[in-house]
Amino acid sequence: MRDFRNILYAIDLDAERFSSLMRALEFARLLGSRMHILYVNDPQAGYRHPTDYEDAVALKVKKAAPESLLEGLKIIYAVSKGNPVQEVVQYARDHRIDLIVVGHEPRGKLYAAMFDSTDVRIIDEAILPVLVFPEI
C-alpha cells in the first residue's frame, strides 16, 4: 500500500457542513499522516475572507471538529491567495503532498453540466491521488 505521509485538505471557510473534513481528519489519524489544511482566498469570489492568517483556518477547524479528533494529530494550517485549483496543486507540489482530500457537494444535473466545481477541477489538474468525500 502507498504511504500517505502528507495529506492536504482544501477547506472552504464558507461551507455549512464539514463532514468531509471530519473524514479527512479520521483518515489522517488512521494512517498516522501529517494533515495540511489549506484555505485559498479567491479573488474571483471577492476575497470573502480578507484574512491571510493561518489562525483563522485553525479556529474554523477547531470549531467544526471535536477536540478528541484533533488531539495528537500533526496539523499544518495554511492560507494562500489566487485561483483555488492552481493554489491547491502548487501547494501539493511545494510540500510533497501524497494525497489531496476534497469535499464534494452534489449538485443538480443542469448545474453540473454548466459549471465545473473546484473539486472536479482539482481531480483533473492534480497528478497525484485525490480522495473525494461527499458533504452530507
Q: Considering the domain boundaries, does residue 37 fall inside one?
A: yes
**pTM value?**
0.86
For residue range 3-55, list pLDDT tens digits in order. Answer: 899 999 999 887 788 999 999 999 999 999 999 999 998 777 665 555 567 88
pLDDT of residue 108: 58
For residue range 80-124, list pLDDT tens digits in order. Answer: 988 899 999 999 999 999 999 998 776 655 544 454 678 788 988
CB 10 within 8 A of CB 38: yes
Q: Considering the domain boundaries, does residue 88 fall inside one?
A: yes
Give Dmax over CA atoms of the chain in angstroms.
43
Q: Considering the domain boundaries, does residue 14 fall inside one?
A: yes
Q: Considering the domain boundaries, does residue 58 fall inside one?
A: yes
Q: Considering the domain boundaries, does residue 38 fall inside one?
A: yes
Range of the domain at 19: 6-99+120-130
CB 132 within 8 A of CB 104: yes
Inform me whether the pLDDT recorded for 2 exceeds 90.
no
Q: Considering the domain boundaries, does residue 136 fall inside one?
A: no
pLDDT of residue 112: 47
pLDDT of residue 113: 46
Q: Considering the domain boundaries, does residue 135 fall inside one?
A: no
Q: Considering the domain boundaries, does residue 36 fall inside one?
A: yes
For residue range 68-78, list pLDDT tens digits in order. Answer: 999 999 999 99
CATH number of the domain encompassing residue 22:
3.40.50.620
Domain count, the chain: 1
